[in-house]
Structure 1
Amino acid sequence: MDDDVQLAAETLPGPGSVTWRRFARAPGVLLAGTGLLLQVAHPVVGAGVLEHSDFRRRPWTRAWRTHLSTLRFVYGMGEGAHAEGRRLIEVHKGIKGVDSAGRRYHALDPHAYAWVHLTLARFMVDTAALFGDPLTEPELAQMWREFRMIGLALGLKEQHLAPDWAAASAHFDAVVRDTLEANESTRDVLEALTAPAKPSRFLPDPLWKLLTLPAGRVLRLTTVGSLPPVLRQRMDLTWTERDERSLARLARVVRAVDRRLPEPLRYPPLAYGVIVRERLRRRRAV
């Protein structure tokens, strides 16, 4: 085991960490589309998803697999972050080629791989800022130290992880400004969010529309509204003052509801189950 992996093994976040408390909070589902858009807007990620993924045919299946993968390396589900890192590297080894603009790409390009990791940290920060209690400066510093450790466990190297959150935020802004683009994968994500395909041919079209149209409107509002404005313009997405007011009203309601929920309802069941089991294990060990 190399030094980076040994360090990560010793310091991965657990109960009480900023990451465990904040990452999987339930309101995050409203910004999941934003995180995915930020990822596939990177030319390397977008090309890999377009040419090597089944997202277009089965967006919800793909989203569920991604959710499970994230829980494995954030909360240590299954064999934990190191095992998930090895699995991800193996899965992505063969994802390479030449995109429609003639650019060569490889899914394990360290800059693209690190970008995906950074979007997950940004997702946590944005979810807290919009739908909960914003992370304080000490929490931001601690969160990024924890995310650096997760990144090392996933196979990233020190030089591809910003030293602190201020540098990570500056890098995020630079990538948005200079690298991200509208592409076929971003269009597929937006379509899946706002007009999702039926999961079963046996589900009647009118019923499916009744179930998904309201949710699609909400997800479009939260997704488009939380994108960096420069990227929103690059994707030619309309955003009005009325949309801004609607998002602010929704955020107030979500914050009010979330603060009154009992703890088990503030997290997805899988994540909360891990949190409770690890708490109990540590109490027994004392």
Structure 2
Amino acid sequence: MLDMHPKKASPAKVLLSPFGRFIDGMAVRAMFPPGSRAIDFSQPPGEAALLSSDSLSWRIFKNPVSVLIGGITAVILELAEPAVRTGVWEHSSFRKDPLRRLQRTGLAAMMTVYGPRRTAESMIAGVVRRHERIAGTTPDGVAYHASDPELLDWVQATATFGFVTAYSRYASPLSEQEISQAFAEGAQTSRLYGAVNAPASADQWELLLERMLDRLEPSPIILEFLDIMRSRALLPRPLRSLQGLFVRGAVELVPPQIREHIGLKEKYVLRLGDVSLLRLLCAAADNTVLPSSPPAQACRRMGLPEDHLYGR
């Protein structure tokens, strides 16, 4: 199951120094596409999110490093399913403009967890409408539709698995009970996307994996995606050298039976010291408050201190 490691809680650090403000600004620029309007998660005051501020999801999604790593893991699993892979690769900008696609996906995740309820529900409704227009045929001649509940269940489940596993492995270990709680919270919001049977516990996730294994397959597109994540200029310049590390860390999180099944067993293997560095980076991110980030802004919206989610 998940690899647990001891970690002492550290006090949260609010970035107020000039260097801290630089890091804070860099994180905001990495989230929002150039020319787009940054969303203020601190407004309107007092409006609740889809999930409680005391939820496990609020704690997990505050960590930008583990969210990035877990997001890569989720996409690997999504692309292993032929219908999802065809839909993503043929009906999105991932290949031509991967940065903008990642930013939109990351912003959607932040809005689902931290956004004011009415704004989050409006955004999700827009995603559902776009899915209704996406349909086609896989290279093997199988018809698919992006609003197929079974495909949506897989996409939502892999997202939860990726984010939760990356956080537990590299940032702060989660108990089996907490892992199931995270799946239950994910299932709650997934229904709004049309994923009505997304797994609501770790056991249900394992059952879904067993059912899906025969449908998953290797594809050059998975390798192309990983090459994009490793080599394109996706992160701000000071952080680009870490992209290969994050890809290797993400591949490591893919369940071993799937990693072997889709041909990644011998590729992107973690190097000596990689795990220690990943844990160092994720632990630092887990205890550093970025005042302009959605988690900190959402805390202010709810009348909570900016460091409410840190050091817990």
Per-residue deviation, 1:162: 3.2
The aligned residue for residue 78 of structure 2 is 39
- 2:63–2:285 Cα contact (<8 Å) kept: no
Per-residue deviation, 1:63: 0.6
Which of these residues, 213, 221, 224, is aligned with residue 188 of structure 1? 224
The aligned residue for residue 214 of structure 2 is 178
1:144 is the counterpart of 2:183? yes
C-alpha separation between the residues in 1 aligned to 2:226 and 2:269? 20
Which of these residues, 162, 170, 185, is aligned with residue 199 of structure 2? 162
TM-score w.r.t. length of structure 2:
0.71
SS, match of residue 73 in structure 1: helix
Per-residue deviation, 1:242: 7.3
Letter in 2 for 1:218: L
Per-residue deviation, 1:188: 2.9
Deviates more, 1:39-48 or 1:142-151: 142-151
* 140 and 249 in structure 1: CA distance in 2 versus 1, 3 angstrom threshold: closer
The aligned residue for residue 227 of structure 1 is 254
**Cα deviation 1:85-112 (Å, max 9, x = unaligned):** 3111111112111111111111111111
* 240 and 51 in structure 1: CA distance in 2 versus 1, 3 angstrom threshold: closer
Greater helix percent: which structure? 1
Letter in 2 for 1:13: L
Question: Considering only aligned residues, what root-mean-square deviation do their CA atoms show, in Å?
Answer: 3.1
TM-score w.r.t. length of structure 1:
0.77
Instruction: Note the 1:1-286 alignment, pairs <5 A.
Output: 12-28=50-66, 29-77=68-116, 79-157=118-196, 160-175=197-212, 177-196=213-232, 212=240, 214-237=241-264, 239=266, 243=270, 245-254=272-281, 256-258=283-285, 261-262=287-288, 264-265=289-290, 269-280=293-304
* 246 and 181 in structure 1: CA distance in 2 versus 1, 3 angstrom threshold: farther
Per-residue deviation, 1:241: 11
SS, match of residue 144 in structure 2: strand
- 2:78–2:155 Cα contact (<8 Å) kept: yes
C-alpha separation between the residues in 1 aligned to 2:157 and 2:292? 22
% identical aligned pairs: 25
Moved over 4 A (4+): none
- 1:46–1:183 Cα contact (<8 Å) kept: no
* 180 and 168 in structure 1: CA distance in 2 versus 1, 3 angstrom threshold: same
Count of matched residue pairs: 256
- 1:92–1:108 Cα contact (<8 Å) kept: yes
